[in-house]
Amino acid sequence: MSAAVTDVYAPGTLQEAVDRVLRVPDRHRTFTKDAAFAQETWAIGPALLEALLDHGLPHRGPAERRRFERTDLHNVSTWLNLPSPYFRALARKARALDAAARTGEPHRHELELRADCAEPGHAGECAFVPVPGAADHSEPGSLRETSAGAFAVRARLPSDSRVFDEDRSDLLSLVADWELYVLPDGVIEDEGFARETRLANCLIPTRLLLREAERRGIRARHGAGLLVAPPFGTLHHWVEFALDGAWVPADPVLLTAFSRWGMTDPAHWPYNRSVAGIVWHLLTWPPEVFFPVVRDRGLQAPLHVSVR
């Protein structure tokens, strides 16, 4: 291991990062990404990658042609707080959440939804249509198509940052110690895996909390839409509680992650505080992990969301 790597990371840190990804069984890995992808996308440079390999990072192939599982690289990079575009974007979202709460004013964002053809090579023209929630939950009249497949819209996100009462807090505590994790396809909806490893995406704990809320007589619903903060938005799932005539969003796994990554102060942002201010509700009870925001001739269209 190079001196530069040992100067940066405390003993055991890299082993913790690798041990974490090894909780995922190897049968769920597809080794398709190379060292260039690790560096360019996830800020894992050659020296660090070699150190991770020394600690058992899964891979296939000889040194000059090594291949890695994309989610392993993603999760190692995030665990080590490396300055990837993804990690920097998450930090912006955490800052936006805190800023919305401190000002007490709603956050307004200009978004561009840019969709690609859902089925390249099809006959006829594409027909792009945003989900109804894009108009229903935006500033009235702001949604407009600016070019084929591109839509501009203004989202108004409230600053409600209440700490939930004892009953709801007790419910949220069921998953508060789970770690936000990008799961490979084989376990992307596997609640048993998440319970055993405490690794979960945003969908699995949402479904668990909704089922338990129903059992406890707490009125809740499944919220889905976007995590919103410049420079872009990402698909997300969370739980919402009916309180005082409104639906108030909660996401204990996300808040725990922000705290672990040093993005928020856990004293100010405990797991049982609302995440209003960064979530834009577009759909309720979506059945899919990757739900549609824009459809093309009825099919889910690949989407990029820019935010300012």
pLDDT tens, 40-90?
999 999 999 999 999 999 999 998 899 999 999 999 999 999 999 999 999
Are 70 and 157 found together in one domain? no
Structure-token pair, residue 154: 């203004």
Could you tell me if residue 124 is left (phi over 0), alpha (psi between -120 and 50 degrees) or otherwise beta? left
CB distance 189 to 204 below 8 Å: yes
Q: What is the pLDDT of residue 3?
A: 54
Residues 94-103, mean pLDDT to the nearest whole number: 88
Give 175-221 pLDDT, tens digit per residue: 999 999 999 999 999 999 999 999 999 999 999 999 999 999 999 99
Work out how many domains the chain is built from and give that number: 2
Tell which of 49, 83, 117 closes a domain. Answer: 83
Are 175 and 103 found together in one domain? yes
Are 90 and 58 found together in one domain? no
The per-residue pLDDT of the chain, averaged, comes to 94
Are 58 and 160 found together in one domain? no
Are 99 and 40 found together in one domain? no
Which positions ≥6 away from 67 have C-beta within 8 Å?
A: 31, 32, 33, 34, 59, 60, 61
Percent of the chain at pLDDT exceeding 70: 97
Are 156 and 61 found together in one domain? no
Tell which of 27, 59, 83 closes a domain. Answer: 83
Residues 295-300, mean pLDDT to the nearest whole number: 96
Give 28-41 pLDDT, tens digit per residue: 999 999 999 999 99
Domain that holds residue 167: 84-308
Instruction: Indicate if the pLDDT at residue 118 is higher than 60.
Output: yes
The C-alpha atoms of residue 107 and residue 90 are separated, in whole angstroms, by 17
Are 165 and 198 found together in one domain? yes
Q: What is the pLDDT of residue 189?
A: 96
Give 133-170 pLDDT, tens digit per residue: 999 999 999 999 999 999 999 999 988 889 999 999 99
Instruction: Indicate if the pLDDT at residue 7 is higher than 70.
Output: no
Tell which of 15, 50, 83 closes a domain. Answer: 83
Are 63 and 118 found together in one domain? no
Are 162 and 300 found together in one domain? yes
pTM over 0.85: yes
Instruction: Indicate if the pLDDT at residue 1 is higher than 70.
Output: no
Are 17 and 146 found together in one domain? no
CB distance 93 to 74 below 8 Å: no
Are 292 and 163 found together in one domain? yes
Are 45 and 112 found together in one domain? no
